[in-house]
Amino acid sequence: MPRHARLPLWRDQSPDQKLETLRELILDLYRYQLGGALADISAMLAAHQPADAKEARDIQRIKALIAEHPNILNMNCEIGHITASAAIVHPASGRTLLHFHKRLHRWLQVGGHADYETDFAQVALREAREETGLPDLVHYPPAAKPAPIDFDVHTIPVSGDIPQHLHLDFRYALATKQPAALAPVQGESTRFRWLSFAEALDLGDDIDDSLRRLLRKASLLVAT
C-alpha cells in the first residue's frame, strides 16, 4: 500500500499531514515513473565486487537510499543525489588526469550530476568531455554497456544556499589518445595535471582515500 494511503483522509488532516500527503504522492509518482530504472541500478550495485570495506558499506548505503528516495536521480532530493565521474587515463604513457576542484579545493577526478538520467556511463562521458575538452574520450576498456569500476558516497559541504548533502558517485574509467588536446572550457576548473599513477598516488593528503582507490583500479586496467 502506498504510504500516502495510510494517512487520514484529506478533510481530516492537519496542515502538516497535508504537506506530508503531497510529498508522498509526489514520491509515489517518482516510484511509478522510475521504478524499473531504479531496480536496474540496484541490480548493478549488487553485481559489483567491492574493493574494501568502505566501498562495500557505500554500496549498501546507496541501495538503501535508492529504496527510500525514488527522486535520488535529481538534485531536488534533499539528502543527496547520484553523480557520475571518471578516472581519465592515457594508456600509452600510463598516466592519469586530475583536476583541482575550485570549490572543494582538492585534486579530484572529473564528473557531474545525473539529472533524471539513468545512463550514468553517458553522464560520466559527457561531463568529462565538457570539463576537459578532450575530443576522443571513450570508455576504457571498450564495452557495449560500460559498468562502473568504483562506487563512493561522500559528503558535500554547505555552499551558499545549497545545504550539506551526499553524492552517491558511480565511477568509470575513460581513455584518450590525445592528452595534449586538453582544453578546459571557460567556467570550469582550469588546473589540470597529467601524472603517472605513482605520482598521483603519492599526492598524500591532496587526494582522498576514495580517489586513491579509484586510481589503483584504473592503474590495474591500464596494466592489463
Structural domain includes residue 62? no
Q: What is the mean pLDDT of residues 177-185?
A: 93
The answer to whether 79 touches 65, Cβ cutoff 8 Å, is: yes
Between 189 and 191, the higher pLDDT residue: 191
User: Does residue 26 sit within a domain?
Assistant: no
pLDDT for 4 equals 52
Distances from the Cα of 51 to the Cα of 48, 114, 205, 210, 217, angstroms? 9, 24, 21, 11, 9
Kindly state whether residue 66 falls inside one of the protein's structural domains: no
Q: Can you give the pLDDT at residue 202? A: 94
CB 45 within 8 A of CB 151: yes
Q: Which of 181, 216, 190, 218 is nearest to 202 (CA)?
A: 216
Q: Output the pLDDT for position 131.
A: 92
According to the model, what pLDDT value does residue 3 have? Answer: 57
Residue 51 inside a domain? The answer is: no
CATH, residue 192: 3.90.79.10
Q: Is 28 within a domain? A: no
Q: Write out the residue range of the structural domain in which residue 205 sits.
A: 79-223
pLDDT exceeds cutoff 60 at 164:
yes
Report pLDDT digits (tens) over 88-117: 999 999 999 999 877 777 899 999 998 778
Residue 150 lies in a domain: yes
- Number of domains making up the chain: 1
Round the average pLDDT of the chain to a whole number and report it. Answer: 90
Q: Are 134 and 86 in contact (CB under 8 A)?
A: no
Whether 175 is in a domain gets the answer yes
Asked which of 55-59, 103-107, 193-197, 198-202 is least confident by mean pLDDT, the reply is: 103-107
Burial 30-39 (b: 16+ CB within 10 A, else e): beeebeebbe
Cis peptide before 141 (omega within 30 of 0): yes
Model-wide pTM > 0.85:
yes
Q: Is residue 213 part of a domain?
A: yes
Residue with cell 579530484: 108
**Residue 1 pLDDT more than 60?**
no
212, 130 Cβ separation under 8 angstroms: no
* pLDDT tens-digit readout, 26-52: 888 888 888 899 999 999 999 999 999
How far apart CA 79 and CA 68 sit, in angstroms, is: 10
